[in-house]
Amino acid sequence: MEQFVSLISTRTIILVLVSIGSCIACGRAEYRIEDECCLMCSPGNHVYKHCTEFTSTSYVPCVDSTFLDEPNGLMKCAPCSSCYSGLGLRVKQPCNPQSDDFCEALEGFFCLLSNKNGCRIAQKHRSCKPGQYIHQRGTTSTDTVCSDCTGDTYSDGSFTSCQTYTQCESLGLQEIKPGSPWWDSECGPQLSHSTARSRISAVASMTVVLAGAVF
């Protein structure tokens, strides 16, 4: 009976030890495969064969536009991202086995979404409309800011400040089209009194002729 109890106790101890062994965490530079803690590959490499009780981890470099930028226990490398121009991106630093493509916004675009590998999605800077001026030019990280023209000023949307209407009278000219927030006032030559009277007479005569034609 004592031998039986001793046998049970021994087996219990063995099972407890095995259970404790399977719960022991691997080191920071290791990864677990079944009951083994294998040494991780260095960045730029992936696992070729996992370690065993008798052998170490074997690894090979990332190739063919793939990468791994951290120590790992992976069997495959990750495919490099592409800096698609359709997403407003261009390559700032090309992919290599240890790092992904580093992208940046194209000229005239700003970044909407970024991560440790640079910009992932960019958007074109907004264009200010006629009646607005460029209050703040867009950068690679911010959009253009537009503001409305007020008072006797105008902008076609491309100005960095609103422009004051041209004062026709100060130039010795006559205003033939008033200014608006979208355009400047339009000036023309001053009409002499005789010319003005002649034009008024011509208009009056034409009116009489048209009236006679109607009746």
Range in 50-64, 93-107, 119-133, 178-192 the model is least confident about: 178-192
| Helix-, strand-, coil-residue percentages of the chain, each rounded to 5 | 25, 35, 45
Give the whole-number percent of the chain exceeding pLDDT 70: 77
Structure confidence at residue 19 (pLDDT): 43
- pLDDT tier at 136, thresholds 50, 70, 90: very high
Domains, in order of start, for the chain: 26-79 (2.10.50.10), 82-124 (2.10.50.10), 125-186 (2.10.50.10)
Range in 74-78, 104-108, 114-118, 190-194 the model is least confident about: 190-194
| Helix (H) or strand (E) run with residue 178 in it | none
- pLDDT tier at 15, thresholds 50, 70, 90: very low
Residue 145 CB coordination number (10 Å): 14
On the question of pLDDT at 6 being above 60, the answer is no
Structure confidence at residue 190 (pLDDT): 80
**Distance between CA atoms of 100 and 150, rounded to whole angstroms?**
49
